[in-house]
Structure 1
Amino acid sequence: MPATQRKPVPSVSIAEEPGILKQPKSVWAVFFACIIAFMGLGLVDPILPAIANQLDASPSEVTLLFTSYNAVMALAMLVTGVITSRIGMKRTLLSGIVIIALFSALGGLSNGIWELVALRGGWGLGNALFVATALTAIVTLSNSGNAKAIILYEAAIGLGISVGPLIGGWLGAISWRGPFLGVATLMVIAFIGLTTLMPSSSSVSVTKKKSSLLDPFRALKHRSLLVLGITAALYNFGFFTLLAYSPFVLGLDEHGLGFVFLGWGVLLAITSVFVAPMLKRMLGTVGSMCLMLLMFAVVLLVMGIFTSTQWVVILAVIFAGALLGNNNTLITTAVMNAAPVERSTASAAYSFLRFLGGALAPFTAGKLAETFTPSVPFYVGSACVFLSVIYVWINQSHIRHVDKQEGAH
């Protein structure tokens, strides 16, 4: 055809990108492995009171299971980029799965709370390798754009977290060791699935540029990434106050706790996939984040006021799942568009700060309850989340560009 008769090539728009369900086989392999990996978080939650009773431990000692887990995750996040850039995504994912399976199995065979806390830290190391790399892998391998890939990742988290408590409550009713051994078994299944379905191709091989241990700290020089990281640290203080401490005030057995956190996880999964994108279109990423964080602060405040009223706390926990699902998707999307650095580096820097907040909250909540009253941890968690709203609002000029960049993509 003559050059003068050629039709102009239309530009690619978001509407023309493949749908969220039209993904390569490798993406689905990581997706299903994520579901199984995040079951581990929910599996343990219903048995926290049982562990306290059977191992003769205080609530603050039991909440150290989350503190050691998150503290090791935070530090390990700093080296995930270095490891991934040298051995590749697939090997890093598989290494994380093996470590999770090993330490969860050893945890199920342990006989003391301090031994269990230490082994839970090893579990956090495996989870760091898997979680940071899984997000990068899904975003990199997806053919439907960053936003849809992140929604898919958050959906996997939601599905894993929602199913986990139900299985954890069932296994925990038999023995507190059951969920730990259950996680190890599920990780073996994830290992087989990922080995089989995720190809060793150039798309998941070692990157040309080797990452440095200093890269995450250099990335935090970008004010936008630093703002989102500090916001996530404050937000996660409230998140893990709810997750690690609320089982001690609900007054339910393993089955009851399993069903409560099943409802929490289901709402988290649904909102992260279906509601968060709508909120982002209506209010923008930053505006939606502020609204969800403000509502979560109010929910924690209500839990503090009505700590002794069981039905109020149950409804508050379940409803919080909707707010957390929305915010997880919104803030992760913002991080991926916040700074001109590689996705793996941005994820490592952000996750380092995020899980520091998650490490401080559980033990602090347990100690506050023992020192003062059972309501105080929820008041402190609410104050931290409310502070994150103020911090975002003050620094909104540094992160407003994430909406423009997402629109451009």
Structure 2
Amino acid sequence: MSVWATAFAAVVAFMGIGLVDPILPSIAQGLNATPSQVSLLFTSYFLVTAVAMLVTGWVSSRIGGKRTLLAGLALVVVFAALAGTSTSVAELVGFRAGWGLGNALFVATALAVIVGAASGGAESAIILYEAALGLGISAGPLVGALLGDWNWRAPFFGTATLMAAGLVLILTLLKATPRPREKTRLSAPIRALAHGGLSTTAFTALFYNFAFFTVLAFTPFILGMSPYGIGAVFFGWGVCVALASVFGAPPLQRRLGSVKVLHLSLALLAVFQLGIGLSAYEGSWQAGVIAFTVLTGVPIGLNNTVFTESAMEVSDAPRPVASAGYNFVRWMGGALAPFIATKLGEDVGVAVPYALGAACCLIGMAVLYLRRHHLRSLIEVDADLGVRDAAPVATS
């Protein structure tokens, strides 16, 4: 029950990512703000999330995993509720930053707690975690649309209520987790990134996340739809994320190996982003924007699972430390993309953000290829899992 309680809270936590998507135009209208100003909701959230990742291990190794989860949930409840009271974009951006701090404490610790409590091993625990991510991301736009059509403030109060329920479940169902024998140093996540494999995975994920959040943050402004319409589009997108994460990634990894799956999914994401950009450039082909947006959920789902597993397996650092270092780097992509993409869309052209997102995917593929010698351990793990034709990685 403790695993499912944590997974439920994780679903609600990840709902916060897609929750604001359907209401971004409504927020801009309600607070007299430009799209790029509203995009700072993502920037503040993920910037604080990224930096806070560096201290999550230090905190949890001193107060324990359960208390860290509860602290994170409590912060999300408070700041999500405060976000609903905002009277300006600046206030809302600030409250989202506090929300990001709570999210970092919860999300980084939740993975370690689920891995520790699950009976099926690390791989099944990571799949459960990614299923929670996919379900949360897909449910977020629906909740945002249903409540946001009534009032743009309602989704924030709704999230606070659901997170409060998650807090109660974890408080009552999750047993106190033992503290690690050794306390984690503040510098541990940065030191872990000195490992070539982890840094390769992390920086590739940074470029991937830039492309990911270009779709998430800018597309609502070019769809020209009501909150219900935007919510429906991103619900379909989220379903693709969830299905690809849980049912697509594992068999593809067994068949092709982790590195090849990353190359494949990054290439697909680049193609679909170009599809969105070309459809938006045509101006009248809304169906193309919708179709390609939904389809981006497939490579995003594959990437989410494979990147997470790769970050856990590629280095010899403890999983919480490796996760903290990896997430610090990759969430920077989520912090940078929303404002840059939206500003480019406002000032240059609606197709430009997607061209940049596609370019970031190609850069990520180049990083994987040029630093492939650092990923030998992933090839060995894939070989142990029975990947067909698993071959040694070239060292030059």
| Equivalent position amino acid for 1:258 in 2 | G
1:219 aligns with 2:192: yes
Q: In 2, Cα distance between the equivalents of 1:143 and 1:57?
A: 49
1:306 aligns with 2:279: yes
| Equivalent position amino acid for 1:212 in 2 | R
List per-residue Cα deviations over 1:204-223 (Å, max 9, x = no partner): 12111101111011101100
- Unaligned 5+ segments in structure 1 are 1-24
| Equivalent position amino acid for 1:391 in 2 | V
| Equivalent position amino acid for 2:182 in 1 | K
The offset of 1:407, in angstroms, is 4.9
User: 2:123 is matched with which residue?
Assistant: 147
User: 1:12 is matched with which residue?
Assistant: none
1:235 aligns with 2:211: no
- Unaligned 5+ segments in structure 2 are 386-396
User: 1:246 is matched with which residue?
Assistant: 219
Counterparts of 1:331-342 in structure 2, within 5 Å, are 331-342=307-318
What secondary structure, in the 3-state scheme, does the structure 2 residue paired with 1:404 have? helix
The one of 119, 133, 137 equivalent to 2:113 is: 137
1:274 aligns with 2:250: no
Q: In 2, Cα distance between the equivalents of 1:247 and 1:90?
A: 36
Q: In 1, Cα distance between the equivalents of 2:242 and 2:317?
A: 28
User: 1:297 is matched with which residue?
Assistant: 270
Contact 2:253–2:382 under 8 Å retained in 1 = no
| Equivalent position amino acid for 1:347 in 2 | S
User: 2:257 is matched with which residue?
Assistant: 284
Q: In 2, Cα distance between the equivalents of 1:93 and 1:407?
A: 35
| Equivalent position amino acid for 1:187 in 2 | M
Q: In 2, Cα distance between the equivalents of 1:380 and 1:55?
A: 29
* Superposition TM-score, scaled by structure 2 size: 0.95
| Equivalent position amino acid for 1:265 in 2 | G
| Equivalent position amino acid for 2:229 in 1 | G
Task: Tell me which moved more, 367-376 or 215-224.
Answer: 367-376
* Superposition TM-score, scaled by structure 1 size: 0.92
Counterparts of 1:110-189 in structure 2, within 5 Å, are 110-189=86-165
| Equivalent position amino acid for 2:15 in 1 | M
Q: In 2, Cα distance between the equivalents of 1:321 and 1:142?
A: 27
Contact 2:254–2:382 under 8 Å retained in 1 = no
Q: In 2, Cα distance between the equivalents of 1:205 and 1:44?
A: 36
Task: Tell me which moved more, 232-241 or 381-390.
Answer: 381-390
List per-residue Cα deviations over 1:351-396 (Å, max 9, x = no partner): 0000111100000011111221111111111111111011111111
Q: 1:269 to 1:61 in 2, by over 3 A?
A: same
Q: In 2, Cα distance between the equivalents of 1:327 and 1:171?
A: 30
Contact 2:257–2:382 under 8 Å retained in 1 = no
What secondary structure, in the 3-state scheme, does the structure 2 residue paired with 1:341 have? coil
Q: In 1, Cα distance between the equivalents of 2:178 and 2:59?
A: 12
Count matched residues: 382
Contact 1:267–1:318 under 8 Å retained in 2 = yes
Counterparts of 1:2-401 in structure 2, within 5 Å, are 25-200=1-176, 204-307=177-280, 308=283, 309-401=285-377
Task: Give identity over the alignment, percent.
Answer: 49
The offset of 1:144, in angstroms, is 1.1
List per-residue Cα deviations over 1:102-134 (Å, max 9, x = no partner): 001000011000110011111000000011111
The offset of 1:405, in angstroms, is 2.7
| Equivalent position amino acid for 2:377 in 1 | H
- Structure possessing the higher radius of gyration over alpha carbons: 1
| Equivalent position amino acid for 2:311 in 1 | V
What secondary structure, in the 3-state scheme, does the structure 2 residue paired with 1:299 have? helix
Q: In 2, Cα distance between the equivalents of 1:76 and 1:171?
A: 30
Q: In 1, Cα distance between the equivalents of 2:383 and 2:53?
A: 29
